[in-house]
Amino acid sequence: MEFTEEQIRRYARHIILPEVGGEGQIKLLSSKVLLIGAGGLGAPCGYYLGAAGIGTLGIVDFDTVDLSNLQRQIWHGTRDVGRYKVDSAKDSIARINPDVNVITYKEKISSENIKDLIRDYDVVIDATDNFPTRYLINDACHFMRKPLVYGSLFRFDGQATVFLPEEGPCYRCLFPTPPPPGLVPSCQEAGVLGVLPGVIGAIQANEAIKIVLGIGQTLNGRLLIYDALDMKFTEMKLRKDKTCPLCGETPSVFDLIDYEDFCEFRN
């Protein structure tokens, strides 16, 4: 493909980089990335992916913008309150970069639709906010052999890593089971520092771009821990678990399951 004059200017800082160049920029423009979740992590991640010129950006989110989202979900504005998040996100990306083909899915992701959603994409980004969806995305990416960029947060703590199919490990190797909600005696509204998803979401965009370009060392096999209060990044080894029911030596999970049941209200 030939760059237009506008594209040469837009992507100049990528093209200059020896690791990217014109060839790398063409890879980005030809790539398809699926962002699941258009909220706190999805906003900075999607913004950077759009600015970088990811050719096709799918965004999945069935929720609408609420005023309480705006403290951290930076691609929605006050005027967007009440709109679907994916519509607001699409407008934001269109303002930054018309090269990006944004495909929106106003759907709740589930065992029924996830395989069709991720089938055509090169990389999947988990920017969701709950355990059932995280296990669902993990399992689906394993079965469909898609690289998965994981990010998560709570209050001041952030986590990020990359799960590569075949190579492993997967999310179940990291956390075999989610915390049962019964162990939640003090029920308070989940709080999160607004900047925290900005840091983790940007790291997710960084990893997705590296996967597309095939450059550098991804977080595969490493769990990055970010403590925003202490301002500390630490890195833990993330090993493939031989007993993992999904990707271990004697797997017991062969297809998608009911993840709400798996995660919630178990006794």
Partner 1 sequence: MSVKVRIPTPLRSLTDGKAEVDSNGSTIIEIINDLENNFVGIKERICEQNDQIRRFVNIYLNDEDIRFLDSINSKVKDGDTISIIPAIAGGASEKKKFYLNYPQEAIKEPLIYLIGKNYNVITNIRSASISNDIGIIAIEIEGEPQEIEKAVKFLESKGVTVEPIVLDVVE
Partner 2 sequence: MSEYNLNSELNIKGEICPFTFVKSKLALEKMKKGEILRVIVDYEPAIRNVPRSMEEQGHKVLSINKINDTDYEIIVEKNGKK
d(CA 92, CA 113) in angstroms, rounded, equals 26
Task: For 182, list phi and psi in degrees, rounded to 5.
Answer: -60, -20
Q: Which stretch binds partner 2 (CB under 8 A): 11-19, 44-52, 240-248, 249-257?
A: 11-19
Least distance (Å) between residue 197 CB and partner 2: 32
Give residues with Cβ within 8 angstroms of 13, minimum separation 6: none
Q: Determine which residue in the list 1, 23, 78, 183 makes contact with partner 1, applying CB under 8 A.
A: 183
Q: Among residues 144 and 193, whose Cβ is nearest to partner 1?
A: 193
User: In whole angstroms, what separates CA 194 from the centre of its chain?
Assistant: 17
Give which of partner 1, partner 2, none residue 262 binds (C-beta under 5 to 8 Å, depending on kind): none
| Residue 215 binds to partner 2 (criterion: CB under 8 A) | no
| Residue 153 binds to partner 1 (criterion: CB under 8 A) | yes
- Total number of residues binding partner 2 (CB under 8 A)? 11
Q: Determine which residue in the list 4, 6, 9, 239 makes contact with partner 2, applying CB under 8 A.
A: 9
Q: Among residues 16 and 231, whose Cβ is nearest to partner 2?
A: 16
Question: Is residue 246 a contact partner of residue 262, using CB atoms and an 8 Å limit?
Answer: no
User: In whole angstroms, what separates CA 223 from the centre of its chain?
Assistant: 15
Q: Which stretch binds partner 1 (CB under 8 A): 17-25, 49-57, 149-157, 208-216?
A: 149-157
Helix or strand run (H / E) with residue 150: strand 148-154
What single letter denotes the amino acid at residue 164? L
Structure tokens at 59: 């965004």
Closest CA to 202 of 236, 238, 154, 151: 151
Q: Which stretch binds partner 1 (CB under 8 A): 15-23, 47-55, 137-145, 188-196?
A: 188-196
Query: Bridge-partner residues for 224, per DSSP?
Result: 160, 235
Structure tokens at 151: 């990010």
Q: Which stretch binds partner 2 (CB under 8 A): 3-11, 88-96, 195-203, 213-221?
A: 3-11
Binding site for partner 2 (CB under 8 A): 3, 8-9, 12-13, 15-16, 18, 21-23
